Amino acid sequence: MSGRPLPPLDTVLDAARVVTIPTRTRFRGVSVREAVLLAGPEGPSEFSPFVEYDDAEAATWLAGALDFGWHPQPAMRRDRIAVNATVPAVDPEAVPGILARFPGCRTAKVKVAERGQDLAADVARVRAVREAMDDEARVRIDANGGWTVEQAVDALRALASFDLDYAEQPCATVAELVAVRDALAGSGTRVRIAADESVRKADDPIAVARSGAADLLILKAQPLGGIPNALGIVAEAGLPVVVSSALDTSVGIAMGLRLAAALPEELLAGACGLGTVALLDGDVTADSLLPVDGAIAVRRPALDAALLERHRATPEREAWWRERIRRCYDVLVQRAAAVG
């Protein structure tokens, strides 16, 4: 963690508002997104680890949320961030409608390896994206670690003809990523490998770079404990970076934009995955961070009281999240004590 002091727990809980927002399309198994919005002195922040994550993992997300809400952030190098369209694991016929939600975007990231689907479905979806965009557009895929090494190699050989920008997290482990890269190189298949979960879920986020398992890194600010921590990983890894989101509200997207804005020019590897508010059927601000001409201006929108009330979680879910904050806060206090 960044080592900056935590605000008092009572202050955090007083600043917390829990919301439940439906998604427009089922996305990585999620049809309703829950999040805690925090009204911090530096501006709104967001705590939104997925509900299945344990307290140890979720605590790092809380550290990121508290750092963004209660502390100044690193200087910006740019004020506008190009973003990619994000295409869930939909049928090919739905692709044009999804892409229409991302006006001006010249890059698309396509979800593949969805549970219950096969390679033929992935190929059809990626083909539909490539056909809907011209040959100059970039197409990426994201498997969320869903393939074995053999499945990944077969899939990437089949998908390479669509001129992929990169394949994100084709397998779950660093060793598997190394094996995929070696197999592709041996067969002459050129597809760059990007690491996401192997960074943000790892005890050692630099291991993926040290082992030569990836060509670039996908970074998310909140799961990495905040922007200063993420920038530290970038400096140590020395690999190009794409900043992404975790189906955040505009408040969480603002954190990602600020991270992308702080990256050195030579390490920002193209459009970032920060346009995903377009996949939500609602938001917590009247100034949603949505792409315009393929990019989003770096800003921190204000919370809208009426929208917070409209999307307010049930009392049961609010109690669940508040208790989760208490547990995760305790984890952060224990980590700080162990360090110092």
Rounded CA-CA distance 14/48 in Å is 17
- Catalytic position from the list 33, 106, 111, 200: 111
DSSP state of 56: H
- 196 assigned ligand-binding residue: yes
| Short-list 147, 146, 154, 137, CA closest to 189 | 154
Determine which helix (DSSP H) or strand (DSSP E) holds 68, and give its type and residue range.
helix 55-70
CA distances from 285 to 149, 255, 304, 305, 311 (A): 42, 15, 5, 8, 11
Q: Could you confirm whether 220 is annotated as catalytic?
A: yes
- Whether the CB-CB separation of 269 and 105 falls below 8 Å is answered with no
CA 333 to chain centre: 26
Q: Could you confirm whether 201 is annotated as catalytic?
A: no
Q: Which residue has the tokens 């033929």?
A: 120
- Whether the CB-CB separation of 24 and 83 falls below 8 Å is answered with no
Report angle CA 305, 14, 303 to the nearest 5 degrees.
25
Rounded CA-CA distance 33/177 in Å is 30
Q: Which residue has the tokens 């805690």?
A: 36
φ, ψ for residue 294, nearest 5 deg: 80, 10
- Catalytic position from the list 17, 220, 300, 324: 220
- 168 assigned ligand-binding residue: yes
Instruction: List binding-site positions for Mg(2+).
Output: 142, 168, 196
Q: What residues are annotated to the active site? A: 111, 220
Instruction: List binding-site positions.
Output: 142, 168, 196
